[in-house]
A and B are shown apart, each in its own frame.
Chain A
């Protein structure tokens, strides 16, 4: 007996299919059977989605699932649940685990584990380490890792400081068409830093992380990319206006460069550190109002391809320490959609189709994954969003194992409330 699901009276937004209309959607056996007014159909499950949106399944290409090695912060299971509640049908997870994802066994472990969770509804793609042990010294076995499912290479958390290793990573990875994702930071300029360097760090007496550290690394990498034009370069969590200008110029040159921004970098400034709340400590750090404005402009004019959360769980005990001693990072999967709607759609920086490109189409394109489209005959990979729901962020209710968010108490508009993928339906609440 075929399993049929009928989504009634829903606004379907899919930039890839040029679709933005309110209609009905019939799914049979995990495939989109029909789009269009169908009247009454006999189905196993019918959802009246009047006033709601259905969009191609969102993907967060920058999360830390912490397993193996740091299961007290997050496990693949809790990370996947958090993704599902946040509206993501896919995540790409960073390799700074213990052991690092620098050999095929770990890459396979992460994927196999995720397939057993929530019926395998969330696709988990490993980003493998670019260098062995993420030490920045020797290349990881890239060919083997690609074969084992790695979709990108990154030493995220640690920048690849050696220009020579970065050059070799570009050259070697270019054979597979897989991007090198750089945590762009010249660490000789940032050692000991806890927040953006500028007026706020001066006021607070806090060791600074100068914006030029990000710009320098992006600048160097662009020069290397010009020298190795066959490589693909993706800048993780861009945070500075200067860094964005460099990316913009490199795009004009038609270099293979892409970049992402996190929701916190387009919605908070370094003034938030005033509270000494360690949930405002992340790397790259919160920057100035001018940088925040630049991030929004970059999203609007297309210089920034992707919104990714850099979901970085840490326990309460790890975070509730002196600011300079606290680890960097915040969780982001369950606040991403709300922040995008509140900060970008409501403020007219992006339209729904543009937002979907940055949360669904572009991350998959950059990582070489098949496009997700809403059209008849396609596999159904969908996210359901209530665009008008106003809600207050309560970190204690997150499904992630960790609650380290600076957005607690903040009123947001827009929230994902379910996903469909791999023949499975998941709805929140």
Chain B
């Protein structure tokens, strides 16, 4: 089985077959991660550059681990802010990559479409590690993987994404990926942070956690950023926590167990209470483990195409 795509730019429009292939492949790699020797040879001799124009700790480390465990040679390129501010354009950076005969590029960038742009100008396989508020496909995949592991399927499970949907690439990748696999997706957040027309992507919109909690199996809680308060999206973190904070009391109203997810890093007791984050229904650390397996699967499938 082979992927129908050369690059992983987003989950929107990806076929069920491709998504399933990645998730199934990740199962084998997760097994590798349980071994005493966690290294396998498929990408030996391949060079991968991690191009991070936006600061990130966990995604970068997760990719790097995945790359090294597949025996690839890894180069890291971290630019504070954009390359433009350093006087070099993304296009020039891309040309340099081309000249250095790099096989695969993992890119994180603040501008939507940056990975698409790169995929048009380089011959290497491009993996989007987050482009602005557009997509973060490997995060979507690892969330799907985690849920499939937990529920045994994705078809029919109910997932609500909570928080700043407007600025979230995680939300978009989750919506596209989960819907393609037959899950029901809703979003819940303040009206200022729900982007226009999102219902047309096939999701239900809620503005009160109380309304959605009885009807969901999963809450995927997004990080809320203080800078959104400064730009007028909500009045204060205190008020945000009071109305949109996912807490034990709120979740208890469901009458059934609710799985808690978070892409990290968590603002404890702001968007998510600490007891839930560390509680029995939290899969947050599994997400981190699965992130490496899913990224190995993506790298392997693209690299051996």
Contacts and interface: CB of A to CB of B under 8 A. Distances in A.
B231 to A, nearest CB: 9
A310 B124 CA distance: 38
A322 B117 contact: yes
A197 interface: yes
Interface string B165-195: 0000100100000000000000000000001
A199 B200 contact: yes
Given A202-B195, A205-B131, A206-B132, A317 B89 contact: yes
Nearest to A324: B111
A276 interface: yes
Interface in B113-137: 113-114, 116-117, 131-135
A223 B91 CA distance: 47
Contacts of B135: 205
A147 interface: no
A1 to B, nearest CB: 57
B87 interface: no
Nearest to A288: B197
Interface string A267-286: 00000000110000000000
Contacts of B62: none
B90 A322 contact: yes
Interface string A185-205: 000000000000111011111
A206 B114 CA distance: 12
Contacts of B134: 204-206
A204 B114 CA distance: 11
A203 B112 CA distance: 10
A199 B203 CA distance: 13
Contacts of B3: none
A203 to B, nearest CB: 7
Contacts of B197: 198-199, 202
B175 to A, nearest CB: 10
A205 B91 contact: no
Contacts of A321: 84, 89-91
Interface in A198-241: 198-199, 201-208
A320 B113 CA distance: 12
A173 to B, nearest CB: 35
Task: Count chain B CB atoms within 10 A of each CB in A206, A207, A276, A320 and give the residue with the most.
Answer: A276
B12 A203 contact: yes
Q: Which range contains the number of A residues in contact with the other chain?
A: 20 to 34
Interface in B87-113: 89-91, 109-113
B132 to A, nearest CB: 5
Nearest to B111: A322
Contact of A206 (B91, B112, B116): B112
A204 B134 CA distance: 5
A321 B89 CA distance: 7
A74 to B, nearest CB: 21
B82 interface: yes
Contacts of A163: none
B266 interface: no
A392 interface: no
Interface string B209-228: 00000000000000000000
Contact of B169 (A205, A207, A317, A320): A205
A322 B90 CA distance: 7
A114 B101 CA distance: 49
A204 B112 contact: yes
Contacts of A206: 112-113, 132-134
Nearest to B165: A202
Contacts of A317: 89, 91
B86 interface: no
B195 A201 contact: yes
B198 interface: yes
Contacts of B12: 203
Contacts of B200: 199
Contacts of B113: 204, 206, 276, 322-323
Interface in B38-82: 82
B84 A203 contact: no
B252 interface: no
A325 interface: yes
A207 B131 CA distance: 13
Contacts of B132: 205-206, 324
B109 A322 contact: yes
Task: Count chain A CB atoms within 10 A of each CB in B91, B114, B195 and give the residue with the most.
Answer: B195
Given A203-B201, A324-B112, A324-B132, 7 more contacts: A198-B196, A201-B196, A205-B112, A205-B134, A208-B196, A321-B84, A321-B89
- List 6 A-B pairs, minimum CB-CB distance, nearest first: A276-B113, A205-B133, A205-B134, A199-B197, A322-B111, A202-B195
25 contacts: A198-B196, A198-B197, A202-B198, A202-B201, A203-B12, A203-B172, A203-B201, A205-B131, A205-B135, A206-B112, A206-B113, A207-B133, A208-B196, A320-B89, A320-B91, A321-B84, A321-B89, A321-B91, A322-B84, A322-B111, A322-B113, A323-B112, A324-B110, A324-B112, A325-B82
